[in-house]
Amino acid sequence: METKREKEQETEFAKITPVLLKSRTGEFDLESVLFLKLRSLGICDLGCIGECTNLERLDLSGNNITNLAPLSSLRRLLVLNLSANRITSLEPICSCDSIQTLNVAGNLISSIENLYCLKSLRKLESIRLKDNTYDYSNPVCKNSSYRNILLEMFPNIKVLDGERVVGRGSDLYQLCKDIDDIIKAGIYRNGPLPELPDCKPWIEDGFLDIKTSSNTIIEEAYKQFSDILHECRLLNNRAAHVISQTERNLSIKNMPKEYAV
């Protein structure tokens, strides 16, 4: 059973407020916040988070979020972690067109149609809807074609569900794909497909398969380490600022008072 204190904390953090953001980041001006981690705080209302317009990295995993509307103004967001929430629609983040890494594993996204709104995220390189490590998934992951559809939607994607997509994200791949599409479109317009002579494909079978390797695991670990290191640097800067301010206040307090005659 939850303790009284735990219930109070859940109520306290149910909505993101300026006070919560300032206490967590040490920034007085919300537009100065670049990195924000609000994991597992029982948040269900994103409140004023849209005022952090310069946010680049945002972690809201492990909360009770359903409505993403306040995120629509975060146009500089590069990394967004929304795993383990109660999200059914991703429509509000379609305007966050700088996103490169998106994690929505462990939510309630039910169909392929719910993913088409992400087409505007042309810089997206990594997307996760399923995470076997934490047993996170989405109902849409039961659709056997969801991976192929995502790969078609995002020609430059490099990592899907934590697994590197081999051969994608290159100019050569996109060129070959465009040529194949043009040829197929032309043939269909001119009637049924004729019998074609045996010829080698543009790309060998299996070249575009999703593969897991030790390099992928290392890259994921390195990325997490980089995030932690970045956060440590921010905390160090804030601590240095607080120490500097405290020393200054103490020096002013200890200065001898001068009295005018």
**What's the order of all strands across the beta sheet hosting 126-128?**
35-37, 57-59, 79-81, 101-103, 126-128, 159-160, 163-165, 210-211
Q: Which residues pair with 59 in a beta bridge?
A: 37, 81
- Per-residue pLDDT tens digits for 152-189: 888 788 899 988 886 555 455 555 666 666 666 665 55
Q: Which residues pair with 80 in a beta bridge?
A: 58, 102
Supply the DSSP symbol for 91.
Answer: G
Q: Which of 182, 231, 184 is closest to 81 using CA atoms?
A: 231
Termini Cα distance of the chain: 69
Q: What is the reported pLDDT for 258? A: 54
Share above pLDDT 90 across residues of the chain, in percent, rounded to a whole number: 47
- Per-residue pLDDT tens digits for 51-94: 999 999 999 999 999 999 999 999 999 999 999 999 999 999 99
Question: What's the pTM?
Answer: 0.66
Q: Is 79 strand, coil or helix? A: strand
Tell me how far apart the alpha carbons of residues 134 and 39 are, in angstroms, rounded to a whole number.
Answer: 15
Task: State the architecture of 4-169 in CATH terms.
Answer: Alpha-Beta Horseshoe (3.80)
Residue 4 CA to chain centroid, in angstroms? Answer: 33
